Amino acid sequence: MANIKTFLGCSLALGLGLGLGFVGGSQFTKNPSSTKNFQSASSLRGIVSSTDSYAPAVKASQGAVVNVFSEKTKVRQKNIDLFFEDLLGGEEFFPMNRAEKSLGSGVLISADGYILTNSHVVNGADKVFVALADGKEIQAQLVGIDPKTDLALLKIKGNNFPFLTFADSDAAQIGDVVLAIGNPFGIGQTVTIGIVSAKKRENLGILDYEDFIQTDAAINPGNSGGALINSKGNLIGINTAIYSKSGGYQGIGFSVPANLAQKIAQELKENGKISRAYLGVAVLGLHEEMTPVTAYYLKKGYEEGALIIKVEADSPAFKAGMKAGSLITKVNNTQITVPEQLFKVVSQTPVNNSLQIEAEVLDLESGKITKDLYSVKPVIQ
């Protein structure tokens, strides 16, 4: 059975439903049990911090974590639903427009009302509302979204709001205690505890740009956009997705790291959008789809890289002479193993900087593969 990579927003139609997405990935297998070289749990207790309560960190943080409600109108297609309208007695029972609501969480990051949440919570919404910790509801302005990192920035009117301070997520260590705060299933603000299980999780196929903190703190649908804080109460990440077979918590959650979230929030605040370097190629992993070209590379022993399947006319890649069928293996001395890495390297390229791209070039007529180097200056989009 395939695992499910699940965004953590909740949607409400007739009742509370779960928004599932992105099926894929390999099965996890349990390691064989062994008693060799393992200490008992009791002998490890002295290693664990003697902190009995994280209430001070939670008390300092939970006022800055809000509930986010978005609403959009879905227009039904009358030619498809006409039969059901007649059957049920007209538009009174089967209205042309239907309001769809979704809910998630958000984090106040400034005293003047800027809020970070996930883009999938608010993208396409006609209206967005924020419920503060004291129960007050305020309509929010959508400042900007960045689907590639699944982040969005909201603004509510007012001042002197409680807010979270960004921690240096790069300094976080595997094993650090973290707490997740959010609104799972819409039941109300909830706090769970875990540790940093891994860092720099990427190539999961969830987003275009992946650099996740992995945690085992329990997060569920409705936690989208909520806070992952450290033991000091500082923001270390924005909870975004889980890895699950059931759609619910199974011990593997992913958060956008605070350093990236802070950078995205600042650019959205200043420009309302995120500008990234653009190369002008469509790429594919060698194992994503079997084609004559991918089959040939695999036959020749190639396993990694980003295969160019299309070069857009007049794009930076086109002007540099790059062609479909070439396999990108390295950019600026960074080995490219999967297409997501190519996107990440290109998107981080400073304005006016050129990329040195190394590629294996397949001649379809002769079947020969040669190595080539391209100097490409991306444009900013």
Which residues are identified as catalytic?
A: 120, 150, 224
Name, in order, each residue with C-beta under 8 angstroms of 209's C-beta and a sequence gap of 6 or more: 148, 149, 340, 343, 344, 347
**Calpha distance 370→71 (Å, rounded):** 54
Cα–Cα distance measured from residue 66 to residue 371, given in angstroms and rounded to the nearest whole number: 53
Query: Token digits for 134?
Result: 């004291």
CB 281 within 8 A of CB 325: no
- Please tell me whether residue 339 adopts helix, strand or coil conformation: helix
Residue type (1 letter), 99: A
Q: Is 314 exposed, middle or buried (0-12, 13-18, 19+ CB in 10 A)?
A: exposed
Q: 65 pairs with which residues across the strands?
A: 107
φ, ψ dihedrals at 345, nearest 5°: -65, -45
What is the CA angle 275-280-281, rounded to 5? 125
Q: Which residues of 26-61 are buried (b: 16+ CB within 10 A; e: fewer)?
A: eeeeeeeeeeeeeeeeeeeeeeeeeeeebeebbebb
Cβ 57 vs Cβ 229: under 8 Å: yes
Give bridge partners of residue 119 from the DSSP assignment: none
Spell 198-234 as b/e; 16+ CB within 10 A means b.
Answer: ebebeebbbbbbbbbbbbbbbbbbbbbbbbbbbbebb
